[in-house]
Structure 1
Amino acid sequence: MHFTDFDPETFLRDHWQKKPLLIRDPWNAWRNPLDPDELAGLACEEAVESRLVAHAADTDGDRWAAEHGPFRENRFGELPPQRWTLLVQAVDHYVPEVAALIEPFRFIPDWRIDDVMASLAANGGGVGPHFDQYDVFLIQGLGKRRWQIGATCDDKSALLPHDDLRLLAQFEATEEWVLEPGDILYIPPGIAHNGVAVGDDCMTYSIGFRAPSRSQLIAHWADHVLAELTEDDRYTDPDLRLQGNPGEISAEAIAKLHAMVMERMGGRNAFARWFGEFSTSPKYPDIDWRPDAPMDAAEIRRRLEAGATLVRNPASRFSFVQKDAGGALLFVDGECFECSEESGAFVERLCAEDSVATEPSLIKSEPAMELIRTLVDRGSVTFETDD
């Protein structure tokens, strides 16, 4: 599926991180990529992150309950006829048809994309009025959902007391739409919103975008720098001179101490390499995607010479940074691979496309073949004919 009536440049100029946008069915032919029963089945899997959110309204006010998966298969038969929502994270990791929903949105850089969350709701189901700290495209897959948009919120906005849900204590809708299959609602960070299913079998796909906070970047980057330092790397002052007041920390000392820190913290190339590894780290690092048995280099070469296509694992994250001296740093699932100019075109295609057919010249390159073998062994890529 792809867009036929959507202009990314206009969207980025007028709406991205600025204001919400309702996009009425821009697809060439919308098809819901996942059956409700299949989504419920995923929520029963041990490795899959899922939640059930139920809502009841009575004389004591609204009551919200959250339950975390994995769920028993018969759990869904026990649910009430209305006012519940099942949410399953990273469905794109497991269902290629859902992963394909990301492709039309790749006018946003890949490192910003988080995952595709899918939800299934009974009539009246929702997760309550809330706000997110990231951009999100909400695609209506099946059924109908009423979306309300409210004010801009921040960490000072009052929340209801709840251990698992961050629900706004006050919400007043300023705009409202009912989305039908194929419709999309874009919501920037900080905008209050509330979605409620209109009828049963309401399925929504949420494509979320990562936005690291300044504190996250500083903390993780500092941890990385600290891991590479030694106890012997200390302040020295062999040029120390007598000063008038021993209680003063001199300007010279401050400058030297500051430079001592910034010299290691401010290296742009080192930061770029670290961020490539940091931003491509797997969402669920404990899941092992490696094949049952490693494939030797001769078998990989035979398959490529026969015209086999390499396919990226939807759960893997790929990015690259061009090196000043030529070639590129390829980042895959938190690992960095130094690539020469010889394999640069292949690296760029691998980051741009879900599947790549290798050129004959690349098959003759030993560094390129070693890279492909490593990625196959790690489960980051496979061959199109494999499961």
Structure 2
Amino acid sequence: MDMIAFDHEQFLREFWQKKPLLIRNPWKAWTNPLEPDELAGLACEDEVESRLVKQAADNWELEHGPLAENRFGRLGKAPWTLLVQAVDHHVPSVATLLEPFRFIPNWRVDDVMVSYAVDGGGVGPHFDQYDVFLVQGLGKRLWQVGAPCGPDAELLRHDDLRLLANFEATEEWLLEPGDILYVPPRVPHNGVAVGDDCMTYSIGFRAPSRSELIEDLAEAVTADLEDDDRYADPNLQAQENPGEISREAIDQLLGMVAERMLDRDAFARWFAGYSTTPKRPEISWQPEEPFEVDEVRRMLAEPTELLRNPASRFAFVRGKPGSVLLSVDGRCFDCAGETVVFAEQLAGQDQVTVGPNVAASEPTVDLITTLLNQGSVAFDQEAEGA
């Protein structure tokens, strides 16, 4: 889906992680990519994460999916909102909403959450720890934003919802289909449906915390360490006070940890895998019948389109001259020579044209075969049929 005009550089300079921005319908022709009934159907599926939020006076109720098919007919008159996570992984038309926002690195993209609300429905005043673009798909929603929240922001007592106890709006806008509201991290916002059939597409971005990074990195580093790689002090000197941990010991111990934790190449490889790990790794996208290398090479005899799985994550890190590390769904591949161009294209585009030039490269064919068999890419069946 294309936009008429959007100044990416100005946005990054003046608004990104600084202040909210309302963008009135910038699309060449806005079309709501998903019908409400389709969203409700996704909420009934086991492999899809969904939530139902109901509000009655000051009481908020949260129900986790999957939801029964007849659940929506028993909701009563109280305002309610249906939230479905990672809809872009299951509906290609929703995945196209991400294209205009590719000026932000792919590894920062989380997913597209879709909400449906009846008149008065919402999830209450809250703030997120990440950036979000709120695209109004259908109906109208009134959005209010407030001043950024500090670390001591008071929350309501609720086991599942992180709602602000005190919310004061500083600005508000009524969004109609095609309008977009950008909200930076920790900026409180509250959206309320105005009329029924209100659908909003929330394009969220990942911002890993320091604790998450350290915890996962430490686990990855220690997995490769030998148990006999231990502290040693063959030049130990007698101390005046045996209760002291000497400066020399501290320096050596810190060095043992830092040597592993601060290895830049190892960190880059770890983070490439960490940042591309699928959101729902328990879901298998593998083909029913595995591909063979010779079969793939035959399929590349004529130009065809190779499509990325919308649920897959791709990224690459530049290595030594003429090489890149490609990471796909948490798995890393060292690429060199002619495979580098293909890897860079695949990481940056939703589809790549491949053909005889690729078939002549054995490493590239091997890579494509592996990615096909793990369900990360697929050949365009429509193009093949044509």
Asked if Structure 1 and Structure 2 have the same fold, meaning a TM-score greater than 0.5 normalized by the shorter chain, the answer is yes
**Secondary structure of 1:374's match?**
helix
Deviations 1:82-109 (A, max 9, x none): 5110000000000000000001001000
In the alignment, the residues of structure 1 paired with residue 136 and residue 368 of structure 2 have an alpha-carbon distance, to the nearest angstrom, of 38
Q: Which runs of 5 or more residues in structure 2 are unaligned?
A: none
**Secondary structure of 2:146's match?**
strand
Match in the other structure for 2:146: 150
**Secondary structure of 1:12's match?**
helix
Counterpart code for 1:225? V
**Secondary structure of 2:259's match?**
helix
Deviations 1:218-245 (A, max 9, x none): 1111111111112100011112223333
**Secondary structure of 2:222's match?**
helix
Counterparts of residues 201-216 of structure 1 (less than 5 Å): 201-216=197-212
In the alignment, the residues of structure 2 paired with residue 244 and residue 40 of structure 1 have an alpha-carbon distance, to the nearest angstrom, of 73
Match in the other structure for 1:32: 32
In the alignment, the residues of structure 1 paired with residue 66 and residue 73 of structure 2 have an alpha-carbon distance, to the nearest angstrom, of 15
Counterpart code for 1:110? N
Match in the other structure for 1:379: 375
In the alignment, the residues of structure 1 paired with residue 304 and residue 355 of structure 2 have an alpha-carbon distance, to the nearest angstrom, of 11
Match in the other structure for 1:269: 265
Aligned-pair distance for 1:306?
2.2
Match in the other structure for 2:74: 78
Aligned-pair distance for 1:359?
4.7
The equivalent position to 1:188 in structure 2, one of 165, 184, 189, is: 184
- Flag the 1:289–1:20 CA change in 2: closer, same or farther, 3 A: same
Q: Identity of paired residues, percent?
A: 64
CA contact (8 A) 1:81 1:122 kept: no
In the alignment, the residues of structure 2 paired with residue 6 and residue 82 of structure 1 have an alpha-carbon distance, to the nearest angstrom, of 39
Counterpart code for 1:22? L
The equivalent position to 1:104 in structure 2, one of 89, 100, 107, is: 100
Aligned-pair distance for 1:303?
1.6
The equivalent position to 1:136 in structure 2, one of 110, 132, 135, is: 132
Match in the other structure for 2:10: 10
In the alignment, the residues of structure 2 paired with residue 81 and residue 141 of structure 1 have an alpha-carbon distance, to the nearest angstrom, of 23
**Secondary structure of 1:206's match?**
strand
Q: Which runs of 5 or more residues in structure 1 are unaligned?
A: none
Match in the other structure for 1:222: 218
CA contact (8 A) 1:126 1:194 kept: yes
CA contact (8 A) 1:82 1:122 kept: no
Counterpart code for 2:49? E
Moved over 4 A (4+): none
CA contact (8 A) 1:327 1:342 kept: no
**Secondary structure of 1:26's match?**
coil
In the alignment, the residues of structure 2 paired with residue 155 and residue 69 of structure 1 have an alpha-carbon distance, to the nearest angstrom, of 31
CA contact (8 A) 2:301 2:355 kept: no
Counterparts of residues 321-332 of structure 1 (less than 5 Å): 321-332=317-328
In the alignment, the residues of structure 2 paired with residue 84 and residue 246 of structure 1 have an alpha-carbon distance, to the nearest angstrom, of 67
In the alignment, the residues of structure 1 paired with residue 197 and residue 243 of structure 2 have an alpha-carbon distance, to the nearest angstrom, of 72
In the alignment, the residues of structure 2 paired with residue 64 and residue 304 of structure 1 have an alpha-carbon distance, to the nearest angstrom, of 55
Provide TM-score, normalisation by structure 1: 0.97
In the alignment, the residues of structure 1 paired with residue 302 and residue 357 of structure 2 have an alpha-carbon distance, to the nearest angstrom, of 14
In the alignment, the residues of structure 1 paired with residue 151 and residue 240 of structure 2 have an alpha-carbon distance, to the nearest angstrom, of 48
Aligned-pair distance for 1:155?
3.6
Deviations 1:159-211 (A, max 9, x none): 11111111111111110000000000000000010000000000000000000
Provide TM-score, normalisation by structure 2: 0.97
Counterparts of residues 164-175 of structure 1 (less than 5 Å): 164-175=160-171
Match in the other structure for 1:232: 228
Deviations 1:311-339 (A, max 9, x none): 00000000000112431110000000111
Alignment RMSD: 1.2
In the alignment, the residues of structure 2 paired with residue 373 and residue 349 of structure 1 have an alpha-carbon distance, to the nearest angstrom, of 17
Name the stretch that deviates more: 334-343 or 29-38.
334-343
Counterpart code for 2:22? L
Counterpart code for 1:284? R
Aligned-pair distance for 1:352?
1.0
In the alignment, the residues of structure 1 paired with residue 45 and residue 199 of structure 2 have an alpha-carbon distance, to the nearest angstrom, of 19
Match in the other structure for 1:56: 56
**Secondary structure of 1:224's match?**
helix
CA contact (8 A) 2:45 2:66 kept: yes
Deviations 1:339-382 (A, max 9, x none): 11221110010011111112533211111100000000000000
Name the stretch that deviates more: 254-263 or 16-25.
254-263
In the alignment, the residues of structure 2 paired with residue 32 and residue 73 of structure 1 have an alpha-carbon distance, to the nearest angstrom, of 23
**Secondary structure of 2:70's match?**
helix
Residue 353 of structure 2 is aligned to residue 357 of structure 1? yes
